[in-house]
Structure 1
């Protein structure tokens, strides 16, 4: 009798437990699975249905579409000691999902700080009139500077504008 009850409970709760073990990963997402704190080997999973063990695994979905990051206006000192207040926009895309998930906890905050530092560093090398005349070229310098740092985290910077 006990065996029948246990078998009935297993058959009753099996569909319900499978519901919690399945995640849907959309076309523009990838899933990274950490088992007991360690990144599982292999490529990130997706798109499609993925199976994981909810008590042992933590599943992180990462959007791999091109994203825009707006950096709020901040004070910059140029070579000729002019202090304009500039904002920046950075377009980026995650290329290595596993590396990005394992290395960064707050991607937008880290990337915003890197862009602000790059804007300050690049603009400190130029005069204000040069910045106004060559905005596109300076934007490319900022993009190259940010990309050289962000590539270590699996992020590709497409463009940076002021």
Structure 2
């Protein structure tokens, strides 16, 4: 089942994951608000020089951008989901009633392989998403550091 109607995209990553989903849903006819604890929606898009294009695309699709908020609660209520957004600079609460909430948040670390190998008779090092979920460049830097130390 695909999201429809009023959709809140809650984005803690500030990168392509949340903003691309917001664009896709708007293109599919949803009324989209993207909320983030960041100072601006899609703040890390500046690294790839995509922030200006995202801002133009969001405006042309009618995507509402709400920065500086965190989700303080979400509950089912008749006719949808009641989501309370807390504006963290002021503490003011903003209530939204939406049909769907889509989250763009950090996944959990996956250290299954490391746990299986940690008592091996050879050195095993945790890097990348095994240590903590983040972008690929972190794994590359950590891998280089481990290799240089060997």
More helix by share: 1
TM-score (normalised: structure 2) = 0.28
Structure number with bigger Rg = 1
